[in-house]
């Protein structure tokens, strides 16, 4: 286990973080302790998943279902907040190594009595999981924790929430997208077909074969992941060295056709009837593990006790501002109190525990190394070699951008003060409606500018025909031209006010979206996205700073990505702002002499041209940024 990074929160919900247990396809897992002293594992969902409404909905459903899973063979789901800016779930911490560690590193293949006890425990765990309406979807050795009392199954159910990121409209997994772990996937998972309870039975057979032989029944991915998946889907399993008594049961579990696999009740009866097992019918009642493994469990427990938090009780926390009470899903079992302040103090020293992540949801990648007890066998059909990890998406989802990290090859944007953990981050919302209204208003803004150019052109010709020292009000059609000029000015002001109002709303909404994409990477407070436009001098630089940060957070790149459009629009807008401010002091018809009136018209015409170019660039800028943010929210490129 690793210590906490400076960017890690000190608290999540009512749990004080002690260290990092690891990171998997769904998010990061922490070792934590509740206010009552219970040690738990807290999994925090990745932000790019949390931004997906389908994932949040499925995540909440699966958490509720997982809390209904009872029995003694699973890690209980204690608490969760599925509506937090970054959803999380807390499970009971199982202080024991994984089956993968026991077989790969500590002992090797387990004896028949251990296989029997393991099978009974896993079958009963699957019965409890299936009874809650869940399919585990990722049963494998690293998801089975070994304790003195028997195995414990972790990470059940939430794989289905992650699966929504790679599902088609009919609920089937998209071609080329796999949610599972190679070597322990059912054929229907490999093909992207619907996963059922029978899929867990296949995975159970693979786990039992691995436990009895120390080998994966379909080999490893040394020859490529596709060859491994082909063997799972089309070839028979390698059941050599499996004890004769277990050959039939494991072979039945590994049937290619889900309909041909036995039920859990049938498997339980077969496992309980296995001969030569000194344990009870419930898988307990004796030492189910070899002495070497039991000794390691004892040492593991001593390390955990010796590393207890040396600090006293945590201070009484205050509720998280804006936390949703209805979103919190406490388990019926005693768990924790409402969420505390984000970080009441420094985290305690990390506990040097070497156990796997006993969390909830898709687990860490399982990549077994060659065990110390097994030497390489020349010519082996399925060499024992490192197995690729979980096929859950790591980093960006297919076609999407990671909200906190730029794409490979690009620099990270400057990091500014991030919101406190537990504070409510903005939820990305489409700005399409605002952008359409803004584009229409900007187009409408061009109309009075064009009319003004035409009127001023006529006035300029009349003034040029008169003597330079002539009075302005003596030119031909002065009355009509002055009224027309005033009318275009008033129309420009009214449309401009509407543009400014809608612009402020659109810009602030875009800034909130950018904060959701990259928390802590946007300069200045959210309100300044609208307010900075109206503060003298500040409006010369702050909106541009915010615009740069919005573009970086949206595209994931601190440069390029069409940023020239932002720069070009900004400098034209600044030039128009200064020209308009100069032009608004007086109109040509307010000048006494014709020569002064013509000079004013020249300045006004330059401002009008700048205004038209700025409006066109603004329309392009608004359209581009809106489309980028929509694509980001949709997970597109």
Give me the residue spans of the domains in the chain.
47-73+96-306, 432-634
* β-sheet bridge partners, residue 145: 98, 152
Contact (CB, 8 A) for 214 and 147: no
Q: What is the pLDDT of residues 441-456, one digit of tens each?
A: 999 999 999 999 999 9
Does the annotation place 52 within a ligand binding site? yes
Q: What is the pLDDT of residues 578-595, one digit of tens each?
A: 888 876 667 888 888 888
CA pair distance 119, 105, nearest whole angstrom? 21
Positions marked active-site:
138
CA pair distance 534, 507, nearest whole angstrom? 13
DSSP code, position 22? E
Contacts for 186 with CB less than 8 Å, ≥ 6 apart: 195, 198, 199, 202, 203, 232, 258
CA pair distance 56, 60, nearest whole angstrom? 6
Q: According to the model, what pLDDT value does residue 163 have?
A: 52
Taking the model in full, what pTM does it have? 0.49
CA pair distance 205, 369, nearest whole angstrom? 21
CA distances from residue 240 to 40, 115, 250, 369 in whole angstroms, order as listed: 40, 16, 12, 21
Q: According to the model, what pLDDT value does residue 192 have?
A: 87
Q: What percent of the chain has pLDDT over 90?
A: 33
CATH code of 47-73+96-306, in short, is 1.10.510.10
Q: According to the model, what pLDDT value does residue 592 have?
A: 82
CA pair distance 372, 169, nearest whole angstrom? 47
Contacts for 475 with CB less than 8 Å, ≥ 6 apart: 459, 462, 463, 465, 466, 481, 594
CA pair distance 357, 607, nearest whole angstrom? 64
DSSP state string for 487-516: HHHHHHHHHHHHHHHHHHHHHHHHHHHHHH
CA pair distance 99, 104, nearest whole angstrom? 8
Q: What is the pLDDT of residues 379-432, one digit of tens each?
A: 334 333 333 333 333 333 333 333 333 333 333 434 444 444 444 556 788 899
Low-confidence ranges of the chain (pLDDT < 70): 1, 71, 157-180, 276-286, 303-426, 520, 559-561, 583-585, 635-637
Helices 542-555 and 563-583: crossing angle, nearest 10°?
160
3-state secondary structure of 130: helix
Counting beta carbons within 10 angstroms of the beta carbon of residue 635, is it exposed (0 to 12), middle (13 to 18) or buried (19 or more)? middle
């Amino acid at each position: 286990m690793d210590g906490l990074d400076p960017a890690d929160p000190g608290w999540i919900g009512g749990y004080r973080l002690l260290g990092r247990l690891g990171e998997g396809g769904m998010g990061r897992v922490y070792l934590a302790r509740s206010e009552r002293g219970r040690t738990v594992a807290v999994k925090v969902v990745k932000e790019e998943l949390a931004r997906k409404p389908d994932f949040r909905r499925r995540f909440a459903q699966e958490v509720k279902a997982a809390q209904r899973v009872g029995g003694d063979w699973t890690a209980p789901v204690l608490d969760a907040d599925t509506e937090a800016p970054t959803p999380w779930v807390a499970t009971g911490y199982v202080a024991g190594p994984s089956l993968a560690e026991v077989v790969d590193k500590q002992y090797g293949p387990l004896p028949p009595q251990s296989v029997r006890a393991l099978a009974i425990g896993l079958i009963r765990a699957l019965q409890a999981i299936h009874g809650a309406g869940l399919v585990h979807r990722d049963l494998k050795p690293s998801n089975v924790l070994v304790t003195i009392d028997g195995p414990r199954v972790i990470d059940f159910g939430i794989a289905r929430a992650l699966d929504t990121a790679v599902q088609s409209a009919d609920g089937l997994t998209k071609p080329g997208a796999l949610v599972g772990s190679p070597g322990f996937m059912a054929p229907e998972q490999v093909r992207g077909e619907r996963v059922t309870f029978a899929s867990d039975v296949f995975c159970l057979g693979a786990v039992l074969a691995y436990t009895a032989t120390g080998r994966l029944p379909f080999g490893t991915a040394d020859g490529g992941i596709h060859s491994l998946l082909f063997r799972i889907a089309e070839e028979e399993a390698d059941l050599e060295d499996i004890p004769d008594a277990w050959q039939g049961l494991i072979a039945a579990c590994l049937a290619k056709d889900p309909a041909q696999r036995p039920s859990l009740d049938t498997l339980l009866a077969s496992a309980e009837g296995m001969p030569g097992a000194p344990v009870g019918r419930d898988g307990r009642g004796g030492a189910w593990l070899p002495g070497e493994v039991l000794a390691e469990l004892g040492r593991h427990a001593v390390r955990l006790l010796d590393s207890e938090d040396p600090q006293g009780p945590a201070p009484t926390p205050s509720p998280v501002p804006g936390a949703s009470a209805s979103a919190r899903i406490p388990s019926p079992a005693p768990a924790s109190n409402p969420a505390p302040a984000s970080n009441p103090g420094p985290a305690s020293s990390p506990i040097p525990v070497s156990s796997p992540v006993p969390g909830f949801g898709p687990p860490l990648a399982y990549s077994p190394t060659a065990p110390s007890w097994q030497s390489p066998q020349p010519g082996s059909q399925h060499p024992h070699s490192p197995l690729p990890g979980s096929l859950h998406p790591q980093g960006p989802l297919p076609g999407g951008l990671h909200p906190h990290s730029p794409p490979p090859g690009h620099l990270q944007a400057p990091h500014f003060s991030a919101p406190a953990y537990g504070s409510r981050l903005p939820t990305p919302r489409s700005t399409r409606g605002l952008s359409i209204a803004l584009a229409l208003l900007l187009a409408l803004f061009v109309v009075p500018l064009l009319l003004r150019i035409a009127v001023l052109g006529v006035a300029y010709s009349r003034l040029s025909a008169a003597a330079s020292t002539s009075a302005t009000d003596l030119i031909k059609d002065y009355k009509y031209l002055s009224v027309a000029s005033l009318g275009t000015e008033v129309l420009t002001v009214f449309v401009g006010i509407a543009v400014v109002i809608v612009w402020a709303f659109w810009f602030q909404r875009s800034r909130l979206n950018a904060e959701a994409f990259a928390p802590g990477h946007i300069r200045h407070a959210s309100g300044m996205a609208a307010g900075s436009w109206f503060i003298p001098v500040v409006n010369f630089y702050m909106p541009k700073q915010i615009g740069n940060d919005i573009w970086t957070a949206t595209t994931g790149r601190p440069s390029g990505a069409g940023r020239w459009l932002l720069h070009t629009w900004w400098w034209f807008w600044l030039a128009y702002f200064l020209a308009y401010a100069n032009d608004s002091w007086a109109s040509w018809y307010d000048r006494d002499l014709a020569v002064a009136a013509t000079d004013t018209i020249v300045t006004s015409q330059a401002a009008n041209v700048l205004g038209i170019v700025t409006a066109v660039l603004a329309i392009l800028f608004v359209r581009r940024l809106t489309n980028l943010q929509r694509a980001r929210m949709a997970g597109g490129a």
